[in-house]
């Protein structure tokens, strides 16, 4: 009787497979399920990263002269609008769309066509595709904003808008695809960049240096430059950046999990170590620690831990944070003075150099004990990763330098990059925007 029952069940199963194949195969073709916790964390992180751009506006704005405060705020807020539309229309598909020979995404996702609320497994199986898209949009917004620290107080607003749009399309989007996009050749080579050390900071930092070289020095630099006009604004901006960086790095896990917690923890530790180290350096060298030095060091620490955040331990984060302050302090206080380039707010000295150190430090301290999906670095028995990171750094430096230079020269030839000497003397607030942040100007 028992054998007969089993036989009948088997026959019924075979009949069902023939008659109703879609029902039996439903589990194989079922759409990926959205995880509410993961989605909430990524959306919150997107908001935190978005807040970083106003934070950057106050950080940079507090460091310039009174007559240029609003110009910095205007540039940052314009990027929030301009880069969002660029990302929706073409940026996202170039960065993360289906691969074309490891170099760029194709145009199949232009205008967010096909980018819906179902997860896309190649990037995350637990959050809506649109959640991933908007999280990455916030990186695309702030990255060109970092560059403006090098040419603050002297670029035409119209030229700034055109250059930023071109740079996002021809520099940021390709590098983003190389490192993060499925099929990107640096990603396929094993390069690690958890949250943007290469894509964001090296890329923007090198472009910042190019801008400083092409535009030339501010009038009166360095002998007749004023100190930061509102240091409390800069401190406020730095605090907002530090706060937003928890989403910048922690959100890059794309899930509410242990890796997100680890990334957030090492982010905070590295920033603290870097801020303290910079202050101690100033104390030793200049006899007094400064508020400007402390916030500069903290931002440098946040930059350096960005590529390593998902791959290193808390103790190793201390070494990364302390190391970046030593290196960036040398570039800001010594190299810039010796070479004479006018990197107005040290965008290259902090973001470019800090990003290079962070990417290479990932090759030193990364460990699979933190993230099995990563790799072991030199100090964990794998010198090959350091060489891979060195290659990614070199490729990004060369590409960003050359293309940024070309784009600046094109914009300069077509419309001019720099304001006139009189406009620079009066200030960009009045000459570019017909308004001022203050009733009385110095």
| Average pLDDT, rounded, for the chain | 93
The span from the CA of 50 to the CA of 59, in Å, is 15
Q: Is residue 272 packed enough to be buried (19+ CB in 10 Å), middle (13-18) or exposed (0-12)? A: middle
Burial 382-401 (b: 16+ CB within 10 A, else e): beebbebbeebbebbbebbb
Length of the chain as a residue count = 442
CATH topology of domain 35-112+126-433: Ammonium transporter fold (1.10.3430)
Q: How far apart are CA 52 and CA 34, in angstroms?
A: 27
For 125-176, how does the pLDDT look when each residue is reduced to its tens digit (9 = 90+)?
A: 999 999 999 999 999 999 999 999 999 999 999 999 999 999 999 999 999 9
Residue-wise pLDDT tens digits, 373-421? 999 999 999 999 999 999 999 999 999 999 999 999 999 999 999 999 9
The pair of structure tokens assigned to 429 is 């607030």
pLDDT, tens only, 308-360: 999 999 999 999 999 999 999 999 999 999 999 999 999 999 999 999 999 99
Is omega for the bond preceding 222 within 30 degrees of 0, making it cis?
yes
Give the N- to C-terminal CA distance of the chain in Å, as an integer.
101
Buried b (16+ CB within 10 A) or exposed e, 85-119: ebbbebbbbbbbbebeeeebbeeebbebeebeeeb
Structure confidence by residue, pLDDT tens digits, 231-240: 999 999 999 9
Strand segments (E) across 18-126: 99-100, 104-105
269 within 8 A of 317, measured Cβ to Cβ: yes
Q: When comparing pLDDT for 47 and 225, which is higher?
A: 47
Q: Which residue has the tokens 């910079």?
A: 278
Sketch the domain layout of the chain as residue ranges: 35-112+126-433
Q: What is the pLDDT of residue 222?
A: 87
* Burial of residue 264 (number of CB atoms within 10 Å: 0-12, 13-18, 19+): buried
User: 230, 244, 229: which is closest to 145 by C-alpha?
Assistant: 244
**DSSP class of residue 127?**
S
Report the sign of the C-alpha dihedral through residues 12, 18, 19, 24, in that order: positive
pLDDT band at 3 (very low <50, low <70, confident <90, very high): very low
Q: Is the pLDDT of residue 26 over 70?
A: no
Instruction: Decide if pLDDT at 5 tops 70.
Output: no
Report, as an integer, the average pLDDT of 356-366.
Answer: 98
| Interatomic CA distance for residues 353 and 356, integer angstroms | 5
> Where does the pLDDT of residue 32 fall: very low under 50, low under 70, confident under 90, or very high at 90 and above?
confident
Q: What is the pLDDT of residue 12?
A: 47
Mean pLDDT to the nearest integer, 279-288: 96
- Span 89-108, pLDDT tens digits: 999 999 999 999 999 999 99
Is the pLDDT reported for residue 243 higher than 90? yes
Instruction: Give the pLDDT score at 24.
Output: 34
Cα 390 versus chain centre, distance? 19
Q: Among the listed ranges 9-13, 244-248, 277-281, 297-301, which one has the minimum average pLDDT value?
A: 9-13
Tokens describing residue 170: 């021809």
Band of residue 30 on the pLDDT scale cut at 50, 70, 90: low
8 Å CB contact between 363 and 379: no
Average pLDDT over residues 224-233: 91
């Amino acid at each position: 009787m028992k054998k007969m029952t089993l036989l009948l069940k088997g026959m019924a199963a075979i009949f069902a497979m023939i008659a109703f194949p879609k029902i039996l195969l439903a589990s194989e073709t079922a759409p990926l399920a959205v995880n509410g916790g993961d989605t909430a964390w990524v959306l919150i992180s997107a908001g935190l990263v978005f807040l970083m751009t106003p934070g950057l506006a106050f950080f940079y704005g507090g460091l310039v002269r009174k007559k240029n405060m609003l110009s910095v705020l205007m540039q940052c807020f314009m990027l929030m609008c301009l880069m969002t539309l660029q990302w929706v229309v073409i940026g996202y598909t170039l960065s993360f769309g289906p691969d074309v020979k490891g170099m760029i995404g194709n145009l199949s996702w232009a205008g967010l066509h096909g980018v819906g609320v179902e997860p896309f497994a190649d990037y995350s199986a637990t959050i809506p595709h649109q959640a991933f898209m908007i999280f990455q949009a916030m990186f695309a917004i702030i990255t060109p904003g970092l560059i403006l620290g090098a040419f603050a107080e002297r670029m035409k607003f119209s030229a700034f808008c055109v250059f930023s749009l071109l740079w996002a399309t021809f520099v940021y989007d390709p590098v983003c695809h190389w490192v993060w996009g499925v099929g990107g050749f640096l990603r396929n080579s094993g390069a690690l960049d958890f949250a943007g050390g290469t894509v964001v900071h090296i890329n923007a930092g090198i472009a910042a240096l190019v801008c400083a070289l092409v535009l030339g020095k501010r009038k009166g630099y360095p002998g007749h430059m004023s100190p930061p006009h509102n240091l409390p604004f800069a401190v406020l901006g730095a605090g907002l950046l530090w706060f937003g960086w928890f989403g910048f790095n922690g959100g890059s896990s794309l899930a509410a999990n242990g890796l997100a917690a680890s990334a957030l923890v090492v982010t905070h530790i590295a920033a603290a170590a870097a801020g303290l180290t910079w202050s101690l350096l100033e104390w030793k060298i200049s006899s007094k620690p400064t508020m400007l030095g402390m916030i500069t060091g903290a931002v440098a620490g946040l930059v350096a831990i960005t590529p390593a955040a998902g791959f290193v331990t808390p103790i190793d984060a201390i070494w990364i944070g302390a190391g970046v302050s030593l290196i960036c302090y040398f570039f800001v206080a010594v190299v810039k003075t010796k070479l004479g380039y006018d990197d107005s707010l040290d965008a290259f000295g902090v973001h470019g150099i800090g990003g290079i150190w962070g990417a290479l430090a990932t090759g030193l301290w990364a460990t699979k004990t933190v993230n099995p999906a990563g790799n072991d670095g030199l100090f964990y028995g794998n010198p090959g990763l350091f060489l891979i990171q060195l290659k990614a750094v070199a490729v990004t430096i060369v590409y960003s330098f050359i293309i940024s230079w070309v784009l600046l020269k094109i914009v300069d030839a077509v419309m001019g990059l720099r304001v006139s000497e009189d406009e620079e003397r009066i200030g960009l607030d009045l000459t570019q925007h017909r308004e001022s942040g203050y009733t009385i100007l110095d």
